[in-house]
Amino acid sequence: MGKSLKGKELGIGITQRKDGRYSAKFKSKSGKRIEKYFEKLAEARKWLLEAKYEDTHGDISSSTDMTVDAWFNYWISEIKAKTVRWSTLSSYKRRYNNNIKEIIGSMVINDVKPMHCQNVLNVMDNNGYVGASMSLTKAVLSAMFSDACENGLISVNPVTKSVKCPKKPEKNTRVLTLDEQEKFLTVAKESINYNHFLFVLQTGVRSSELRGLKWSDIDFENRIIHIRRNVTYDSNNTKFIVGELKTDSGQRDIPMTQIVYDLLLTMKCRQAGRKQRVISFEFSDHVFLNCNGKLLPNSNYDNYLVKLCDKAGIERISMHTLRHSFATRCIESGMKPKTLQKILGHANISMTMDLYVHVTEDEKEKEMQQFEQMYRMA
């Protein structure tokens, strides 16, 4: 990472000389060292970006000819691939290929205006995408054009304040009522993955955190569960990837309920009593495996949940619904939002309040009864 004379980081391949000029250099595919000097930092960055791209791809002669497709491919492979997690990179590619490429991919990057970016979001809205998906797509647009600005390819980011996600009607997040939860658990007892579902309903962990949980994370003596990693599934390469948690708040300790303590202790004893075939030594210490010693991707969990819900006669749910339901039960029991935030691993309290505090029909009826009782006592 090069630095200026004042010690400020300038980026890979760029340094400031003692005479004040900026040196931009890189090693070509043939192994030749290529270097050039500039009076301005923006000029150095622009030249380095174009020279490296032309050396790698050989089809860009000037930034004025660069298409959005060409820039995105370079941005992903040369800038983001080295700075973000695999799951984030995969999300960027998915958003671009599904929603951005068809609309503005063939356009020259300098020709993209706010109205074109707005059109990307409008098309998504017309195709029935939810607000969260549109927000993520807008974030990708803004990030890729922001880096294009920083590298001197364009002068202004076209994702301005006027570019907004179309408003969608507010939709309540699906949560199991107490009656539905009881029906679900009754039926789920017959499932080979009953322990997985019950654990999420008792702890609120994400499915990726469920897969990432190891026996070394279970402190039976102090009755604490240590959440330290996640495991995501790469469907393109059909493999599981162990990753770090997104935020510091994601690393957390969850106290065990008696139900969870008994559940884990029983599982530990059963696993110790039989040999379990494990797909990889990497996952040999993981807690939640199926009967063949394999981790389960979300699609498998969802397939099981669909069948169980149909059998229980309730509306279909996902693994995330179980997490939502846990949060709602905590609120209904009187747990303080700040405590719930720490258990769920949210980065800020607003996420807890906005996404997980759902007033169910049961709770509304209970609160109204208390309200009515107050007047009877008066």
pLDDT (tens digit per residue) in 12-57? 888 888 898 999 888 887 778 889 899 988 888 888 887 887 777 6
Rounded Cα distance, 291 and 305, in Å:
17
User: Could you tell me what percentage of the chain is helix, strand and coil, using 3-state DSSP and rounding each to the nearest 5?
Assistant: 55, 10, 35
Q: Helix, strand or coil for residue 325?
A: helix
- Rounded CA-CA distance 164/145 in Å is 16
317, 176 contact by CB (below 8 A): yes
- Contact residues for 155 (Cβ-Cβ < 8 A; gap 6+): 149
- Classify residue 263 by burial, with Cβ atoms within 10 Å: 0-12, 13-18, 19+: middle
Q: What does the block give as tokens for 247?
A: 């935020």
Q: What is the pLDDT of residue 275?
A: 55
Position 337 scores a pLDDT of 86
Question: Does an H or E element contain 224, and which?
Answer: strand 224-227
Q: What is the pLDDT of residue 100?
A: 96
Mean of the per-residue pLDDT values for the chain? Answer: 85
Residues 199, 203, 208, CA angle at the centre, nearest 5°?
Answer: 75
Percent of residues, the chain, with pLDDT higher than 70: 87
In the chain the domains, ranked by start, together with CATH numbers, are 1-60 (3.30.730), 62-171 (1.10.150.130), 178-368 (1.10.443.10)
pLDDT digits (tens, 9 = 90+) for 111-144: 999 999 999 999 999 988 888 889 999 999 999 9
pLDDT of residue 376: 65
Q: How far, in Å, CA of 303 to CA of 313, rounded?
A: 16
- Quote the CA–CA distance of 300 and 292 in Å, as a whole number: 14
CA distance 215 to 288: 9
Nearest-10 Cα torsion for 139, 142, 148, 151: -90
Per-residue pLDDT at 232 exceeds 90: no
Q: 244-283, pLDDT tens digit by residue? A: 887 778 899 999 999 999 999 999 988 766 655 554 566 7
Amino acid at 30: S
Instruction: Using a cut of 0.75, tell me whether the model's pTM lies above it.
Output: no
Q: What is the b/e burial string over 93-126, where b = at least 16 CB atoms within 10 angstroms of the residue's CB? A: bebbeebbbebbeeeebeebeeebbbebbeebbe
Render pLDDT for 140-195 as a digit per residue (tens, 0 to 9): 999 999 999 888 889 899 999 999 999 876 566 788 999 999 999 999 999 999 99
